[in-house]
């Protein structure tokens, strides 16, 4: 039976401190839908804005069809600070794994405050309304300066969800995580599952995100905690059947580095937070999987006391979580289990490289396939 399903989403955070304000420009955002259907709608967010978001026009393109969007019948919309909205349903055919392009025209000076670093980059036009244009006058991919002086693509603002009206899928899992999740293991797991299990893995990773503690100040872009954003980023996701909780690394590593040392939790406080999220998910009818916290010996923020907390928490996840996937075991060094194996270390002793991300994807795909009576090669 056809129904609305989430085909793509991103968790959003507060990027006001980046300070980029555009006016009389068009943004072009390309996303990939995990589901197919014959109608679609797009979600916009001004959740962290200080003022209204004015969108003069918006279009959605899939294949060779370009549709002008409407908002309650209007071609423009003004979204107050803190609010979100959906376009009206659009008659556009979306393919599973197909690219969907969203253009939005910003006629007024607009601080791009709400968004996320995304694997889907955006382009920005020269002056004018170029919504739906086949010859988009891109002026490049805007970047911002990172704390280490490197340049990062500007976070993708405002566009935070795509729903598609189409056939039901077996599993729709929201992956609530940090930068390790944002790095792409959900998409990798979905690709591995595709031949054997009709599964959608939605990436709700936010770099720097924590399980228990909201971020603020100079690192507000680390986002609301898993506890705070669970309703918004998991329970409100259309069609969700599962949640994967992949948070905890930054609860241990950030205090004393990019957060007050007083934020460092005890093992019991972390376990209590996992239990709270598990209970909320179960009440909503979602299956819960919690992943173990991966090693970080050698990274900034590591010490023996934090390693002790990680060990206790991981033991609880392995023995008491509703379901678990052992990301720790997948990535740790055989001789020094407090450290990432060299083959999977990106170089900072915290984040996995591409091979490590692939290994996490395989671990998650194997888990879900096993639960649903399939197999992953």
φ and ψ at residue 146, rounded to 5 degrees: -80, 165
The CA distance from 207 to 216, in Å, is: 14
**3-state DSSP assignment of residue 13:** strand
Hey, what CATH class is 169-371 in?
alpha beta
Q: Any residues with CB less than 8 A from the CB of 311 and at least 6 apart, and which?
A: none
The CA distance from 272 to 338, in Å, is: 24
The CA distance from 180 to 212, in Å, is: 17
Q: b/e string for 49-58 if b means 16 or more Cβ within 10 A?
A: beeebbbbbb
DSSP structure string for 318-367: HHHSSSEE-HHHHHB-SS-TTSB-GGGB-SSSSSB-HHHHHHHHHHHHHH
The CA distance from 272 to 45, in Å, is: 31
Tokens of 203: 């990436």
Q: What is the pLDDT of residue 126?
A: 93
Instruction: Please compute Rg for the chain using Cα positions.
Output: 20
Q: What is the pLDDT of residue 200?
A: 97
The CA distance from 255 to 244, in Å, is: 24
The CA distance from 12 to 115, in Å, is: 5
Q: b/e string for 161-200 if b means 16 or more Cβ within 10 A?
A: bbbbbbeebebbbbbbbbbbbbbbbbbbbbebbeebbbbb
| Paired strand residues for 42 | 162
| Residue found by looking up tokens 């090693």 in the block | 295
Q: What is the pLDDT of residue 112?
A: 87
**3-state DSSP assignment of residue 78:** strand
Instruction: For the chain, report the end-to-end CA distance as a whole number of angstroms.
Output: 30
Structure pTM?
0.94
Q: What is the pLDDT of residue 19?
A: 64
Average pLDDT, the chain: 93
φ and ψ at residue 365, rounded to 5 degrees: -65, -40
Q: Which tens digit of pLDDT belongs to each residue from 56-84?
A: 999 999 988 999 999 999 999 999 999 99
Which of 271, 248, 91 is closest to 177 using CA atoms? 248
Q: What is the pLDDT of residue 120?
A: 66
Q: Any residues with CB less than 8 A from the CB of 377 and at least 6 apart, and which?
A: none
pLDDT in tens, the chain (377 residues): 889 999 999 999 998 887 678 899 999 999 999 999 999 999 999 999 999 999 999 999 998 899 999 999 999 999 999 999 999 999 999 999 999 999 999 999 988 899 998 766 789 999 999 999 999 999 877 776 655 566 677 789 999 999 999 999 999 999 999 999 999 999 999 999 998 899 999 999 999 999 999 997 778 889 999 999 999 999 999 999 999 999 999 999 999 999 999 999 999 999 999 999 999 999 999 999 999 999 999 999 999 999 999 999 999 999 999 999 999 999 999 999 999 999 999 999 999 999 999 999 999 999 999 998 777 76
């Amino acid at each position: 039976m056809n129904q609305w399903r989430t085909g793509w989403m991103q968790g959003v955070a507060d990027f006001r401190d980046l300070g980029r304000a555009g006016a009389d420009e068009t943004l072009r955002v390309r996303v990939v839908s995990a589901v197919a259907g014959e109608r679609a709608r797009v979600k916009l967010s001004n959740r962290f804005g200080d003022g209204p978001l004015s969108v003069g026009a918006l279009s959605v393109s899939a294949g060779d069809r370009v549709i002008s969007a409407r908002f309650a019948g209007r071609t423009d919309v003004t979204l107050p600070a803190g609010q979100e909205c959906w376009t009206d349903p659009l008659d556009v055919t979306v393919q599973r794994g197909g690219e969907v392009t969203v253009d939005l025209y910003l006629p007024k000076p607009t601080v791009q405050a709400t968004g996320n670093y995304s694997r889907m980059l955006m382009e920005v036009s020269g002056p004018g309304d170029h919504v739906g244009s086949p010859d988009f006058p891109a002026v490049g991919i805007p970047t911002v300066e990172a704390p280490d002086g490197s340049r990062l693509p500007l976070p993708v603002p405002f566009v935070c969800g795509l729903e598609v009206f189409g056939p039901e899928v077996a599993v729709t899992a929201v992956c609530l995580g940090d930068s390790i999740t944002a790095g792409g293991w959900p998409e990798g797991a979905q690709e591995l599952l595709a031949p054997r299990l009709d599964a959608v893995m939605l990436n709700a990773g936010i770099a720097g995100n924590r399980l228990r503690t909201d971020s603020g100040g100079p690192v507000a872009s680390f986002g609301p905690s898993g506890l705070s954003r669970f309703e918004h980023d998991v329970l409100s996701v259309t069609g969700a059947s599962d949640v994967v909780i992949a948070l905890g690394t930054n609860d241990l590593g950030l205090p004393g580095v990019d957060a007050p040392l007083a934020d460092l939790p005890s093992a019991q406080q972390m376990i209590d937070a996992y239990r709270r999220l598990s209970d909320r998910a179960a009440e909503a009818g979602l299956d819960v999987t919690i992943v173990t916290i991966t090693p970080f010996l050698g990274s900034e923020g590591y010490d023996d006391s934090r390693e002790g907390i990680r060990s206790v928490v991981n033991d609880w996840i392995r023995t008491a979580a509703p379901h678990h996937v052992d990301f720790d075991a997948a990535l740790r060094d055989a001789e020094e289990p407090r450290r990432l194996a060299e083959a999977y270390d990106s170089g900072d002793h915290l984040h996995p490289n591409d091979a490590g991300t692939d290994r996490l994807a395989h671990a998650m795909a194997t888990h879900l396939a096993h639960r649903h009576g399939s197999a992953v090669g």
